[in-house]
Structure 1
Amino acid sequence: MFIYFPLFLIIFFITSHLYNKVQNFPPTLFPTLPIIGHLYILKNTNHFHRTLTQISKWLGPVFHLWFGTHPVLVISSPSTAEECLKQKDTIFANRPLGLTSGKTIYYNYTTLVTSPYNDHWRKLRRISTLEILGANRLSALSYMRTDEVRLLVLRLLRLWDQDDNTPTLNMRSLFMEVTLNTMMRMIVGKRYYEDCIVSEEAEMFQEMITQTPKLSSYTLISDFIPMLRIFGYEKKIRKNMIELQNNRDKFMQNLIEQQKKATKNDDNSLSQEKKMKTMIEVLLTLQESEPEYYKDEIIKGLMLDLIIAGSDTSAGTMEIALSFLLNHPEVMKKAHSELVNCVGEDRLVNESDLAKLPYLHSIIKETLRLLPPGPLIARASSKETTIGGYRVPIGCMVLINTWAIQRDPNTWVEPNKFMPERFLKNEGLAPRELGFTFLAFGNGRRTCPGENLAWRMVGLTLATIIQCFEWERVSEKMVDMSEHLRGLTLSMTNPLLAKCQPRSTMMKVLSQIRN
């Protein structure tokens, strides 16, 4: 045994190396272990994007791994990202299939985020971009976002009134409440988060939002080595996923039934929020015209995508941006000066002002560059092709390392430094127009459809709290900017704690909000 096992390993490694050469695969990480391949690198999934970045420094901008018997292509340069997302976009427009989370949590890959590139996905995309997240609809619902930001200001004022020493605020929870309330008002027409959550429905909603990213973040080894399922490996996690999905499905179905009942009982005495249809009303109207396609399951999947993606990433971006500003008070001062010059101090900033605030936009872009909400873009090849001259087999999982691309020293000057000024020279360009050096919202056919909403929500919230309050850290220590992954979403390791007090020059405006 002591003789044959080392001999087996030597023969295996040599055979694997020759196989890669013959197949013209990209360079791969050594060692490739029998059965598990490179799954051993998943021992630290919280910093998987950093692990892949380090490997790319050894192997180059294109390399491949083996997760069990599943090939995984990793791309870490703008040129290869462009080849994948532009020149061969249709080939790489699929999402990876065969993962338990996609089958269990996301309605068997029928949601917009997880669906393969097919007619179903194209229809969902068209609904999202035209009917739900179009510019006209977002503009018509701007008062909802304005209301929620004003309520945040009011809450900060009340907390400050209660504590003369300036209260310590958990900004993560505050930002999450703003984005969740905004999304729920846009989708179903009602708020779910108040200062105190007491209703059973609100508690169920909170649990659903908290657990979805958490359970989605689990990388199940048995997805890549199916034989482990025979031994009940990861059985508890699978059970929790099924339980979460059952609870979410009941919750979303209840929202649909409530809306159907409300529609039947409508007496035409519409409130302001009913003058413009909510997103669920739009979807149910489509269901009436095409009931064979717009089944309740499709509507629930779209609603879940909008709630999870529209709230978690925007709240995280606000938290990270404010953290950077607290660590760089000179940048905060410049942002405030821009607001004073463009908006003044006799009224609150509104969405129409955002286009006149290039420095604020640069702060958000620099935040998204350094810590993008999605540091890894996951795709899958629909047929055999090549990337960078290397062979990519059909069904290969593709991971585009946005985090590495946006910190590439060959592209960015002092790439790890927070410098919003770097974006001022191209301030009029949207992120997609910056090319493949900036992929915070993705690119190609599967570009994030909620980009326009995110800019409005994040921009208005940050502008308002900078205009109204002076901010400071809770101690002299710099805010900890360490990050970790939850699935494919990036967030700060520790919630941001901060202190604020109203600006003396804004007291007249703020007193009107109190009243």
Structure 2
Amino acid sequence: MHLYYLPIAVVLYMATFHFWRKLQKRPPTPFLCLPVIGHFWLVTFPLAECLAKLAERYGPIVYLEFGWTRSLAVCSASAVEECLSKNDVAFCNRPHRILIGKYAGNNFTSINFAPYGPHWRNLRRIAAVELLSSHRLQSLSGIHIRADEVRLLVQRLYSKVIAGSDTESKSKVVDMRPELFDMAMSVMTRLIFGKRYQGLQANSAKKLEKMVETFFGFANVVHFGDFIPYLRWLDWGKERRLQKFKQDRDALMRDLIEEYIMEMKVKDCHSENNDDSTVKVKPMLQVLLELQQSQPEYYKDEIIFSILLDLLVGGSDSSATTIEWAFSLLLNHPEVLKKAHTEIENHVGHDRLLAESDLKSLPYVQCIIKETLRMYPPNPTLFPHESSKDCIVGGYLIPQGTSLDVNIWAIQNDPNIWGDPQNFRPERFDGVEGYRIGFKMMPFGSGRRICPGEGLAIRVLSLAIGSLIQCFEWERIDDQLVDMNKVPDLFMHKIVPLQARVAPRHGAITKLLTKI
């Protein structure tokens, strides 16, 4: 008989909490917040699209509860500006409950997972000033690395296209994803270790690829204990795999560092016998090792390992994925591809390969990249922030410890801002400077937690996309449009890897490619 009262008790529980939140001036929230699981029953993937649908119903600021965790989903430019400008310091923390932060983030001490404070500010300074500064990116060494890896990408595609062909103009179907990943990873390994991705010893290249793949696999998995602490035991298997991931990462990084140190000793011996006055920018690892020598108690091995992981993960996958989305869009819109090639042909011609110094004179290529990042930002909800104190957003009280999910995908696809946002139209960025437009366009985030690798990413994207358009003709493999479906997870990956029919554009470029 008493069981009849259970539904009544549940309804009263939910109604009481609903009106209690209203009295506390909390943002709009879905009424049905179930005991223990909260609003988990509403979640679908891709998460950005799920949060956008909730915003259509409840407004651009939605308050959600996931187990013990309070979450603020923000889907408007004005609300994001309040969070990441007016309340930037308040929302500069990271959630300190995420299982992946404990292991991949070296117990929340890496630049991605560390809370706001002196330690994070120091890591941020190292990344922005010592490792990814404009000086380093603009140095002859940095430009040479990017240009060299793009040339090698072009050469690999050229070799695949003409291999076994009777005529050099014959096109071939090429699987683009591994080629793009190889290029992006090689840029990062050369900047970090001073050598190409495929030039690493033993099975290090395969292990690096596996490490990046595993990281994203863990980042896309829901860990129940992150939201409901007493259910942490359900994540026992996942935690064991994360422990194994950390052990493998540390072992791989230690091997790569030892390999680098041994090679530096050999080079030092040779340099004593040779007068080499060429000035080169130090690899990023060399900078970190020198910092470790001067402050060994602070720059421990684990700190260096986590910095290297952040650089490799952030610099490889996002660049390769964005180029894959860009060419998927171009293949579905051949008129845009033709216009971009005409711009390159008029400015660069076909007697030489496109250089990084040409990019400022190719505004339409930049428009293509901006439009791609608008439609398919690599991290559509950014990495979660967390409030370190009570603050006001949109007139609502946001309590300390609330997770913040900034839905940049929803903002960058808002028809009230962009007009026909589902249509690929690079012309909308004509005359627009930069890749951040207030808080309406911010594919790399904003505020103190903005991605420090934005400058490097733009240079790699621009040079790679421009060079591939210059050197090759691109067509779909059949009459069907390229599949643009997204993997239903937290990041912006294509379900179907891009395949394209590729052919060298003309004899002049072919002659240049054979000399690379």
**Does the alignment reach a TM-score above 0.5?**
yes
1:383 is matched with which residue? 389
Please list the CA deviations of residues 453-493 of structure 1 after superposition, one character each: whole Å capped at 9, or x if unmatched: 01110100000010000000111111111113544x21112
Please say if 1:286 is aligned against 2:288.
no
Q: Which amino acid aligns with 1:499?
A: R
Which residue of 1 is the match for residue 173 of structure 2?
Answer: 168
Greater Cα offset, 9-18 or 157-166 = 157-166
1:364 to 366, 369, 372: 369
Aligned to 1:407: 413
Residue identity matched to 1:281: Q
Residue by residue, what CA displacement relative to the aligned partner does 1:391-434 show, whole Å, maximum 9, x if unpaired?
101010000110111111211111111110000032xx2123x1
State the partner residue of 2:202: 199
Secondary structure of 1:252 counterpart = helix
- Residue 184 of structure 2 aligns to a residue whose secondary structure is helix
Contact 2:18/2:31 (<8 A) preserved: no
For 1:313 and 1:52, the matched residues in 2 are separated by 22
Q: 2:434 aligns with which of 413, 430, 435?
A: 430
Q: 1:470 is paired with a residue of what secondary structure? A: strand
Matched, 1:325 2:327: no
Mark the CA change 1:25 to 1:404 in structure 2 (over 3 Å): closer, same or farther.
same
User: Which of 264, 275, 280 is 2:280 aligned to?
Assistant: 275
Unaligned runs of 5+ in 2: none
Aligned to 1:77: 76
Alignment check: 8 A CA contact 1:214 1:486 kept: no
Aligned counterparts of 2:137 and 2:277: Cα–Cα separation in 1? 15
1:211 matched residue in structure 2: 214
Cross-structure match for 1:183: 188
Aligned to 1:89: 88
1:96-495 paired onto structure 2 within 5 Å? 96-140=95-139, 141-164=142-165, 166-193=171-198, 199-229=202-232, 232-265=233-266, 266-267=268-269, 269=271, 275-377=280-382, 378-426=384-432, 429-432=433-436, 434-484=437-487, 486-487=489-490, 489-495=491-497
How far apart are the structure 2 equivalents of 1:177 and 1:145? Answer: 13
Contact 1:56 1:63 in 2 (8 A): yes
1:34-62 per-position Cα deviation (integer Å, ceiling 9, x unaligned): 011012234x33x1110100000000000
Partner of 2:32: 31
1:366–1:420 contact (8 Å) kept in structure 2: yes
Contact kept in structure 2, 1:39 and 1:221, CA below 8 Å: no
8 Å contact 1:56–1:62 — kept in the other structure? yes
d(CA) in 2 for partners of 1:75 and 1:472? 39
- Could you tell me which amino acid in structure 1 is paired with residue 399 of structure 2? P
Q: Deviations over 1:228-280 (max 9, x none)?
A: 23xx4132222111111110111112222233344444225288999321000
Q: Per-residue deviation at 1:207?
A: 1.5
CA contact (8 A) 1:473 1:479 kept: yes
Q: How many residues align?
A: 503
Report if the CA contact (8 A) 1:351-1:460 is conserved.
yes
User: Helix, strand or coil: the match of 2:70?
Assistant: strand
Contact 1:189 1:273 in 2 (8 A): no
Task: Give me the whole-angstrom Cα distance separating, in 1, the residues matched to 2:370 and 2:75.
Answer: 20
- The structural deviation recorded for 1:163 is 4.6
The secondary structure found in structure 2 opposite 1:391 is strand
Question: 1: distance between equivalents of 2:289 and 2:489?
Answer: 32
Coordinate RMSD, CA, aligned: 1.8
Deviations 1:2-55 (A, max 9, x none): 41121112111211111111111111113100011012234x33x111010000
Offset of residue 380 of structure 1 = 0.6
Aligned partner of residue 198 in structure 2, secondary structure: coil
Amino acid aligned to 1:238: E
Q: Give identity over the alignment, percent.
A: 41
Kept in 1, the 8 Å contact 2:188–2:311? The answer is: yes
- CA distance 1:163–1:329, shift in 2 (3 Å): farther
Q: More displaced, 322-331 or 251-260? A: 251-260
Partner SS, residue 64 of structure 2: strand
Q: 1:327-375: per-residue Cα shift (whole Å, max 9, x none)?
A: 0000001100110111111100011111111101110000000111111
Question: Which structure 1 residue ranges, 5 or more long, are not aligned?
Answer: none
